Chains A and B, each alone.
Chain A
Amino acid sequence: MSTLHLVALAPFIMAIFIPFFYFKFRHIHTGWFILPLPLILFIYLIQYLPLGGGPMETVERSVPWVPSLDIHFTVFLDGLSLLFALLITGIGTLVVLYSIYYIANKKEEPLNNFYVYLMMFMGAMLGVVLSDNLIVIYVFWELTSLASSLLIAYWFHKEKSRYGAQKSMLITVTGGFAMLAGFSLLYMMTGTFSIREIITYGDAIVTSPLFLPAMILILLGAFTKSAQFPFHIWLPDAMEAPTPVSAYLHSATMVKAGIYLVARFTPVFGGAPEWFWIVTGFGLFTLLWGSVSAVRQKDLKGILAFSTVSQLGLIMSLLGLGSAAVHFDVVDGQSLYTVAVLAAVLHLINHATFKGSLFMVVGIIDHETGTRDIRKLGGLMTIMPVTFTISLIGIASMAGLPPFNGFLSKEMFFTGTLNSATLDIFNVQTLGVIFPAVAWIASIFTFVYCMIMLFKTFTGKHHPERLEKEAHEAPAGMLISPVILASLVIIFGFFPNLLAYTIIDPAMQSILPGLLEPGEQFYVNIYHWHGLNTELFMTMGVVFFGSMIFLNHRKWQETTFYLKERDPLNWFYDSGLVGLIKGSTVVNDVQMTGRLRDYFTYMFIFLVLGMGYMLWNTGALAVDMANTADISIYMYIITLSLVLATVVIPFVSSRISAIVLMGVIGFLVALLFVVFRAPDLALTQLLVETVMVVLFLLVFYHLPELKKETFKPAFRLTNFVISIGVGLVVTLTALSAHALSYENPISPISDYFVENAYALAGGNNIVNVILVDFRGLDTLLEVLVLGIVGLAVVVLIKFKAKKGEDV
């Protein structure tokens, strides 16, 4: 157990103590007790940054967990994990600070639950990014799903919260299971759960037939978590969570876990064309889908949610494009294609800063005005100047305008797509032009929704009557966190190279290992002015066309596209659930009838099918009439009469005639025994049959006439099929047994008794000898059973005699 293990586990340990803080110091907001923890973790993690230059030292600490299953809790800290860990703890600190002002310490507010879930969430995220063992990652991965859905359902009295929580849970947990399946396939290929060891296998994985299934399953996990199309539908519904949670979930955690996973597995799958196309394709499509959907949202949080979807698509597509870099040599620490990875890492950081601040701002607006609906808001610029300033910075950065950090990464994104369009591998030649085109169109829509957000909220006429509260500026404490994030947007915008060799290069080294010689570094130099190049013209085009669309938005506001706010893909989820329930009800009603005869039907159907299959499959079906004995005319007559009597029974209506017919069958069987020269058997059969028929007749004579039951044809048909089926299988089995016994002669068991009956037991009647001697004990016990039954009968009669008394 090392300090780094403690980093991942500290939030969980904290969570245990939260109820104590909450109940013991009821008047102090619980958030104040939590706040130091993420801050300390953040400061602790910063010291791992290579601040003095040079490559970053990686750290590895391992603790055995379930050694017998090769599961070790190994903490591995490299550039990529450090980047994410810093985001998680850094944004986490700000979110906790913000939440102290956002969620009031009121009686009905279960603050302790909120912070327990939040700490679980933080710890789980840290666990995901710090672990090296796939199973440990999976464990933490599912914990993030669990914690986030608990947070989404925090205000569980709202139906929409519960709906959103369940949706995020179902989608992300499904993805998690798929990911686990992918991990187990990787384990089959390599025999280890350690990612770093898996990376060293290289070609052994690529050539394996399981390569593609493993890749797709793992990507399913990443795509569901990172809200990639078509799994993004959970994210807009997740905004039912308290705003601090949304800020955290969208900027630094949850959805970024999928990005982390893709970045982490780039060294394993990166060289494959399937990886390139799937990751890039889904990323670009999500980028487009998200930005177009965001335009038609009326809820500020809705706009931000779809904006996150789209921005995640952007980062995802950059990682996909960048994966092509492994096929090219790196000169002076860069190649045409490493720039995509550089853009991905940079945009990851930028997105965390501006999206975090924007969510907090929206929370403030919601808090101070009581609504987030852009149709009700307007003219807040003068009322909430600080909030407005922060929003302006955040939105400008999101729209990709200089001098903010969003501009830098947006430019680099264009560069990445343009460079990739020139790729001469993976059949990019023909389709490459799509990359910059899609990027450009999506950026236009991004610009449009940014404008909508800014102008609809802060400019125009203020309508106090539409708001639930009188709007005024937020308290200072609530503004601290967004102000810090907005300052970072500016600082990273003006001094992007602060990040270059401290964090971006180490992260790139982890995503693209093996491209550089040991000791080398990627060339990272980020600046605003690249001259009048294509990227700049693209940005200018974005601003121009975006403004055109925004200025004309009155015209398209009336279109059906704009009025339909909800993502059409939700239909699949909702009707899927309904269908599942319907199907389940149908299956339940059909098979759970509560009637024993139906239950027997299932069992016999299984056996008939099973035995029929076996007969056919094992080739045991052998009907061979060659060795049968001669059949006399008597046998024909008796058998025919037997069949006739049997067939007639179901069709007679009177009970008495049915019993008589049953009796006829019994007597015919007795006759058959006579023909087979077994007089003792025939005699027994005659006696038993006579007694049965007489008893039946006697009993039924005394019973009341039963109501005639009518059955549905379907029921009759089932019975018919089953009886024919059972008869057929048994007959075939008997015939096959007969035929096979000539192929593999078995000595019949009767030989033994024929030989030994006289010698051992001194009796000539073999049946008698078997009954009283060879199977003497059986007979004794049978007699005993009969005796017990007799006793029971006596008891029952007595019971009837003395009415009402308990026995």
Chain B
Amino acid sequence: MTAFDANWSLMTPEIVLAALALLVFTIDFMTGIHGKKPFIGRLSVLSLLVTAVLVVVTNSTSGSIAEVFVVDPFAMVFKLIILIGVAMVILISMNFLDRERNAEVYQGEYYSIMLFAALGAMIMVSSADLITLFIGLEILSISSYVLAGFKKYSRPSTEAAIKYVVLGGTASAFILYGMSFLYGLTGSTSLLEIGQAIPMLFEEYTFVVMMSFLFMLAGFGFKISIVPFHMWAPDVYEGAPTPVTAFLSVVSKLAGFGIILRVFFLGFGGVYQEWAFIIAVIAAITMIAGNFIALTQTNVKRLMAYSGIAQAGYLLVPVATVVGDVGINMIVFYSVAYLMMTLGAFAVITLVTEDTGTSDLSSFAGLYQRAPYLAIAMTVFLVSLAGLPLTAGFIGKAYIFFGAVAGEMLWLAIIMIVTSVISFFYYFGFIKQMFMTDPRPNDKELAVPGSMQTVVTVSLAVTVILGILPGLVLDIFNTFNWMAFF
């Protein structure tokens, strides 16, 4: 077998992360599973940062293991997004788990499962083979199911986990079903070979190819919560522990975009014209439904769920309009912006909702008087999510918007604009709560612990800096030849 001649060093980051995750797991065993373990949290963050450094270092020797596991700029950037995202989620979690209310969570298990989830996502975005891809996806998914139900004595959390696992399992089945058609047609699971064979096969077996595409779209669409596969998101987001919600809405979703790009561009890229319209329609419905329903949400976590659905719609627009490196540029830039603004917002949300004990929007009343820095930071995140100037969200959205106009999908661009206006409505309501309402009578000044301060400050800085000087990363992205074999 040639497998053992492969250049396994390409997998160094994954191997190291797996080892560190197991280490965290073992330490947890040795120290007893109960009680607070901030040091394990710190160790986990360290593991992620070490891995992130390794990812950057490994990239200089880009290549692939038997065209199954590839290391290319695309994989590198998505891995960095995943690792930084998870590291920030863990920083948020450390504060979350510190509270008496959440004492039921076994911290060591929580952190190690978080690390395994990151590992799954990394494998996923690096794979150019349907099997590896599915394995990565399932590692991520199963970890997510577990994480959603981590507050096991809380009914909403358990309900969230059950719903997630049942629907998620179905989505995985869809993906497998779709993949099976591809394998049946091409006799290969390699995206490279599939991509080469598809244009010819499409002539003869149009229906089968498109059916396979539809099933995979349904499955992947579930992971990134686009309409009509979004229903799980509000329910699960609401029930899951807040840092896990942050994880689901950022890391899980962006990793999902990673494989959508890989599979659709690499596998189905040859017949791009045939499916672009389907994606455009779904993007449009997603933007409309997400923003429209978000208008009346009074629960912050549900609001963020719908906002996240709408954001997924924006991210989907370049998939439908600009194939190739420029399209990936847009998606990756917006992903970075989305990572920062959403995680920053979730850090504030975690802090506020845990402090007041309710995730109702009214818990943000008068936040400006209780914690001015948090309120200002949150405003920047919301303004960025709404896509207003001088924030990373604006540049990202404008870039996508120009792509849509240039791709001659003017109707899609117009829907993007109209829905952005609608979105402004509920983001403005949020800001109004923080600045223009008096705090509730027994709410006192809000202390911001160090780990949260770090997350908020980093997100704020990146959101603003990328909004003012987007060239810092765009210039680097422009030099990338994103995907191997593409």
Contacts and interface: CB of A to CB of B under 8 A. Distances in A.
B474 A614 contact: no
Nearest to A598: B231
A369 B166 CA distance: 69
B96 to A, nearest CB: 23
A599 B405 contact: no
A173 B398 contact: no
Contacts of B312: none
A736 B414 CA distance: 39
Contact of A607 (B214, B297, B388): B214
Contacts of B205: 740, 744
B206 A618 contact: yes
Given A67-B471, A68-B478, A615 B421 contact: no
Contacts of B390: 139, 143
A587 B289 contact: yes
B471 A68 contact: yes
A581 B295 contact: yes
B428 A599 contact: no
B420 A166 contact: no
A225 to B, nearest CB: 15
B296 A588 contact: yes
A178 B293 CA distance: 23
Interface string B265-307: 0000000000000100000000001001111110000000000
B207 A615 contact: yes
Contacts of A138: 389
B295 A620 contact: no
B204 A603 contact: no
Q: Which interface residue of B163, B208, B234, B401 has the most chain A CB atoms within 10 A?
A: B208
A619 B207 CA distance: 8
Contacts of B28: none
Nearest to A610: B214
A139 B170 CA distance: 45
Interface stretch (A48-56, A76-84, A182-190, A660-668): A182-190
Contacts of A169: 424, 428
B475 A606 contact: no
B436 interface: yes
A588 B163 CA distance: 18
Contacts of B421: 170, 173-174, 177
Contacts of B469: 65-66
Interface string B220-235: 0010000011011011
A188 B167 CA distance: 43
Contact of B395 (A66, A166, A736): A66
B428 A585 contact: no
Interface string A158-172: 000010001001100
Contacts of B295: 580-581, 584
Contacts of A166: 428, 432
A733 B212 CA distance: 13
B292 A184 contact: no
B214 A614 contact: yes
A67 B469 CA distance: 10
B399 interface: yes
Contacts of A187: 402, 405
B474 A68 contact: yes
Contacts of A620: 206-208
A602 B206 contact: no
B413 interface: yes
B398 A180 contact: yes
A473 B204 CA distance: 90
**Chain B, interface residues (CB within 8 Å), range:** 35 or more
A170 B231 contact: no
Contact of B292 (A135, A177, A178, A583): A583
Nearest to A145: B388
A607 B215 contact: yes
A66 B471 contact: yes
A3 interface: no
Interface string A179-203: 0110011011000000000000000
B94 interface: no
B373 interface: no
B19 interface: no
A801 interface: no
B217 to A, nearest CB: 8
B228 A585 contact: no
Nearest to B278: A610
A651 to B, nearest CB: 28
A591 interface: yes
A142 B389 contact: yes
Interface string B405-448: 11000100110010011101100100010011000000000000
Main secondary structure of the interface of B (DSSP, over half): helix
Contact of A143 (B234, B389, B417, B470): B389
A775 B228 CA distance: 37
A722 B206 CA distance: 25
A558 B421 CA distance: 41
B289 A170 contact: no
Contacts of A753: none
B210 interface: yes
Nearest to A619: B206
Contacts of A737: 208
B218 interface: yes
A584 B292 contact: yes
A592 B478 contact: no
Contact of A146 (B167, B388, B432, B475): B388
Contacts of A600: 167, 170
Interface in A601-645: 602-603, 605-607, 610-611, 614-615, 618-620
Contacts of A67: 471, 475
A531 interface: no
A596 B215 contact: no
Given A177-B421, A603-B218, A184 B293 contact: no
Contacts of A68: 471, 474-475, 478
Contacts of B470: 66, 69
B210 A618 contact: yes
Interface in B179-208: 204-208
Contacts of B210: 614, 618
B22 interface: no
Interface string B327-350: 000000000000000000000000
Interface in B203-261: 204-208, 210-211, 214-215, 218, 222, 228-229, 231-232, 234-235
A142 B395 CA distance: 14
Contacts of A142: 388-389
B274 to A, nearest CB: 9
Contact of B401 (A146, A184, A585, A588): A184
A170 B401 CA distance: 20
A68 B293 CA distance: 36
B133 to A, nearest CB: 19
A408 B184 CA distance: 83
B432 A162 contact: yes
Contacts of A162: 432, 436
A587 B401 contact: no
B211 A599 contact: no
Contacts of A611: 211, 214
B232 A599 contact: yes
Contacts of B417: 177-178, 180-181
B211 A135 contact: no
B389 A618 contact: no
Given A170-B425, A584-B295, A733-B211, 15 more contacts: A65-B471, A66-B395, A69-B402, A139-B394, A184-B401, A187-B405, A580-B292, A580-B295, A584-B293, A584-B296, A588-B296, A592-B231, A607-B215, A618-B207, A740-B205
25 contacts: A65-B471, A66-B470, A68-B474, A142-B388, A143-B390, A153-B436, A156-B436, A157-B436, A162-B432, A169-B428, A170-B425, A178-B417, A181-B413, A185-B405, A213-B410, A580-B422, A584-B295, A587-B292, A587-B293, A592-B234, A596-B163, A599-B167, A611-B214, A733-B211, A737-B208
Please list the 4 inter-chain residue pairs (A to B) with the smallest Cβ-Cβ separation, ordered nearest first: A620-B207, A139-B389, A156-B436, A618-B206
